[in-house]
Chain A
Amino acid sequence: MKLVTFIHQDRERIGAVDDHGRIIDLNRAYAAYLKEVEGNSDSEAWAPVVLGGDMVEFLRHGQKSLDAARRALAHVATKANGRSGIALERRQVRLLAPVPRPGALISAGKNFSDHVAEMSSRKGPGYPVAFLKLPGTVIGPEDDVPYPPEVKNLDYEVELAVIIGKPCADVLAEEALSYIAGYAAFNDLSARDVIRGENKTGIHLMGKSFPGFAPMGPHLVTADEIPDPQNLKLCLKVNGETRQDSNLSYMIFKIREMIAYWSQMGLNPGDVLTTGTPRGVAAGRKPDQTPWWLKPGDLVEAEVEKIGCLRNRIVPE
């Protein structure tokens, strides 16, 4: 399933993309299923109890909400035509990030050997490196990124977002993939000049977390559709020109190892881990990085094979 969060008639809703590319409103579709198949006379009140009102709640309900969503989709696949509000055309809705408000957003650093080399930074240590991006910086596939006037060197980083589906603490790497709800494309936007300033005295926080610095989407592909998340191509284009082109197989700490390590702090449904980025970022260009930095007007496309392509435009703030 491809799950989405969207705005329709000014309300935030959860949905799934059907075979025709339409957006199925899951709460309305499941209410129709409950009424028409199970004869539930109070179906509109029941549907959100089972599915949850937003994506984090949906994920928290685990297998129960996934099963309900599948039943709802199968039901409306034959009967949705002509019913208002259940199957929506793509242009009728505004897509948000599939998880618009993750509990925690943990982004790996120094996790592709080619990227570590291009940044001329010290080799990564023998344990996973990551930092927190502010969850409030997440934006969706239809949002623009405001270019902050404080920033001189704005960089892109295509990554895979791994969305946690079950509470996990101290899990083993061998079992870690079973805690994943699904995947989305992700762009870890970074203000390199701000980060350099912060690193002088401490840790970087602001340089990764200006408003809109975490585009995610366009949808969440459920884990059952991606048997091997470790072997997917990653690609990033700026104004149609390829800047990053790699594969998740080059990750230093694999997805399962990242989940095992970060589960030591306790992870919850709706928390998001991102994989780190491969080579090709602006900061790694030699000898002169100037032409490579993002600027207002640029269209950035971050694509992960089998997951989807995320397009965001950089606009003046």
Chain B
Amino acid sequence: MSNFAFIDNDILRKNLDIAFDHIIELLAVSDSDFYKNKPLLISSFRKTIIILMASIIEALLLWKLKRTTKSKIIELSDEYKYFDIRTLHVINKKVKEEIIAGKRKKERKKLDRLDFIRIIDLCFKYNIFKKVLHNELNKVRKLRNKLHIGGLEKIEKKYTQKDLKFVFSVAKKVDSVVQV
């Protein structure tokens, strides 16, 4: 039996189960005696677990958003496509500062192409969860974004059991709100 039996999309449900099983086994293995004296590896395991859990959270929210909006495409309130741009006046040639005119149109995006931050904001907009969870989800997203190591300005911090507990507690809340 799936841990995400309420998900009506077979492929998504199975992919969620695979990721969830991966988390549990990573957690169990990283807690084993073998890694007792390897704190850096334990921390790395925890980082992987956080990334996997964030991907589960993102998938659950996207699934819920699709069901709520009943659409595959969504209009973004603060994003426009600009076209037919004409320069009216050059303010500063050196830094290419200009006064321009043109047309703009609200951008419509496929829900499947939305990034995590947009999914969180849209779920909040559609009252899928309250402000507290919105803030917690953004904390999870920031932890998840540490996967982009090319842009990190500091050596990776040590991921603790407290970090894991926090991400798991957010996942549990998301698991509850998407089933409503």
Partners in one complex: no
Residues of B within 8 A of A (CB): none
Residues of A within 8 A of B (CB): none
